[in-house]
Amino acid sequence: MGAGGLKKEVEQMAQGKLGFGFMRLPVIDGVQENIDLEQLNQMVDEFLGNGFTYFDTSYAYHNGKSEEALRKSVVERYPREQFTIATKLPTFLI
């Protein structure tokens, strides 16, 4: 494998290891439910534009608004095959 091939392989491995967490998103006026979608969209665009694809969220983040923000900023704006989503159900809701 040449140097270019090794560099590409290392870049792909690094991209597979970094995720975008939706636990602490930019908010407006300090209100956790009032997520700044304009700023979030810019962050998502930068993340995906650099080849990263993994997003992590949970119903509990931002008082139930994190998954909705992910839908608006990722799912509704990008083809489904371009990203992976992980979410969690908090045990206190069971």
Q: pLDDT digits over 3-29, tens only? A: 666 666 666 655 667 899 999 999 999
Tell if the pTM clears 0.75, that is, is over it: yes
- The count of domains in the chain is 1
The SS3 of residue 59 is coil
26: domain range? 20-89
Q: Of how many residues is the chain composed?
A: 94
Report residue 60 CA to chain centroid gap. Answer: 15
Is there a domain that residue 39 lies in?
yes
62-70 mean pLDDT: 96
Average pLDDT of span 55-80: 96
Asked which of 31-35, 36-40, 56-60, 90-94 is least confident by mean pLDDT, the reply is 90-94
pLDDT of the residue at 6: 66
Task: Indicate whether 49 belongs to any domain.
Answer: yes
| Cβ atoms < 10 Å from Cβ of 64 | 12
